[in-house]
Amino acid sequence: MLNDLEFAYTPVRDKVRDLREYLDSARLRKELAVIENKLSDPALWANAALSQPLMRDRRRYEDQLASDDELVRRAGDIEAYFDLAREGESVESDLEREIKSLSDYVEKLEERTMLSGENDALNAIVTVHPGAGGTESQDWAEMLMRMYLRWAEQQGFKTEMNDYQDGEEAGIKSATFTVTGDYAFGLLSGETGVHRLVRISPFDQAKRRHTSFASVFISPEIDDSIEIDIKPDDIRTDTYRSGGKGGQHVNTTDSAVRITHIPTNIVVQCQNERSQHKNREKAMKMLRSRLYEYELDKKKAESKKLEDSKLDINFGSQIRSYVLQPYRIAKDHRTKVEVGDVDKVLDGFLDPFIRGYLLMRRNGGVPVVADVGDDLE
């Protein structure tokens, strides 16, 4: 039993060593000292464009140092358990539990080391639209929306609905919400694309199998420290009456706001707040994020970077399929990651897909299925 545990711990211990080398705590402390010195200047706090990025960097370095300390503590505990086991103490069950816990922690930490993109640490704005197909695709779009909301809840992230349009019979016509949490955009960035559902339709009396599509778009929530120039003449603002689910939450005035950026034809809308002013403020924030992502995509297209693996949002290039009939599986067509428990996926279990995408991105667009993990189901 002890030999088996030592064999199981060896790859985990190697990963801990590699992660600690990557984190390089001595370098982190030097970088943190430089930032602390800059932040000690009172004049800096008058300029949010300068102070906010430094605050963000400080928090990142502090988190990385805390992670390094946690690796040392957990590995030390496991070595202590091994010493006790060699002395004849019955601690095998404790050892097994601690090794599994450290392995899970290392996997999560490895994931964070892959989130090194310029905007990966930011919040995410998620937009879901149904494809052609009426009620079928609108119901599928609502299922996707719920999947991402459940995932965010499981991660401890906060969510806020910015815009929600009910479907005619069921589901939704569109939904846009913000996911607030560390690295929300980096974790969700690979979800942009077309998602395909195959199932026996609950809306078909003949119980035939239907294929439905919905598109997901993820953009980073850009803060005020990043300049996005939006000319007043380039936008058109329309107001309309909110169309929520009914009851006291429906506004009785034309407080909902739709903003169209004329040069790019990007449209954003917000109806969550009762105040037209607040809705416009949130819509402008969404527009800035969409425009920032739009400009990034243009640069990626021009330079033809391999990391730009986003597929066009059209209904012949789905990134993932969720099959409920005749068999049950969720499969990502880019990373080749498959999860047999599709119900678990639809309930927010996206970790294998997120990790698979991040590994593929790190590997220059080549799938790395073998490294995704053993807990795909």
Under 8 Å between Cβ of 340 and 329: yes
Instruction: Give 65's contacts (C-beta < 8 A, 6+ positions apart).
Output: 23, 25, 28, 29, 32
* Tokens describing residue 56: 């963000």
Residue 225 covered by a domain? no
Last residue within a domain, chosen from 52, 81, 113: 113
Average pLDDT over residues 63-77: 95
pLDDT > 90? residue 366: no
Give the pLDDT of residue 303.
46
Give the length of the chain: 377
- The CATH number of the domain holding residue 37 is 1.20.58.410
* 367 contacts 335 by C-beta, under 8 angstroms: yes
Query: Do residues 129 and 214 lie in contact, with contact meaning Cβ atoms separated by under 8 Å?
Result: yes
| Band of pLDDT at residue 309, cut at 50, 70 and 90 | very low
Q: Which residue reads 């605050």 in tokens?
A: 55
Label residue 139 by pLDDT band (50, 70, 90): very high
Is it the case that residue 143 has pLDDT exceeding 70? yes
User: Mean of the pLDDT values across residues 262-267?
Assistant: 92
Does position 369 have pLDDT exceeding 80, yes or no?
Answer: no
Q: Is residue 118 part of a domain?
A: no
- What pLDDT was estimated at residue 180? 96
Point out the domain boundary residue: 57, 83, 113.
Answer: 113
Residue 3 has pLDDT above 70, yes or no: yes
Give the pLDDT mean for 135-143.
95
Residues 144, 209 share a domain: yes
Statement: residue 338 has pLDDT above 60? yes
Query: Residue 276's domain spans which residues?
Result: 232-303
pLDDT at 302: 55
Q: How many domains does the chain have?
A: 3
Q: What pTM was computed for the model?
A: 0.69
User: Cβ contacts of residue 241 below 8 Å, gap of 6+?
Assistant: 251, 252, 253, 254, 255, 256
CATH number of the domain within which 244 lies: 3.30.160.20
Residues 199, 93 share a domain: no
**Chain-wide mean pLDDT for the chain?**
86
User: Are residues 212 and 149 part of one domain?
Assistant: yes
pLDDT at 226: 61
| Enclosing H/E stretch for 154 | helix 135-155
Helix 2-23 crosses helix 25-39 at what angle (to 10 degrees)? 40
- What pLDDT is stored for residue 313 in this prediction? 44
Q: Considering the domain boundaries, does residue 59 fall inside one? A: yes
* % of the chain surpassing 70 pLDDT: 88
322 in the same domain as 183: yes
User: Do 156 and 299 share a domain, yes or no?
Assistant: no
pLDDT for residue 305? 40
Q: What is the pLDDT of residues 154-199, one digit of tens each?
A: 999 999 999 999 988 899 999 999 999 989 999 999 999 999 999 9
Q: Are residues 69 and 99 in the same domain?
A: yes
Q: What is the pLDDT of residue 251?
A: 47
- H-run or E-run covering 220: strand 209-220
* pLDDT (average), residues 102-121: 86
Q: Which two tokens stand for residue 59?
A: 């928090």
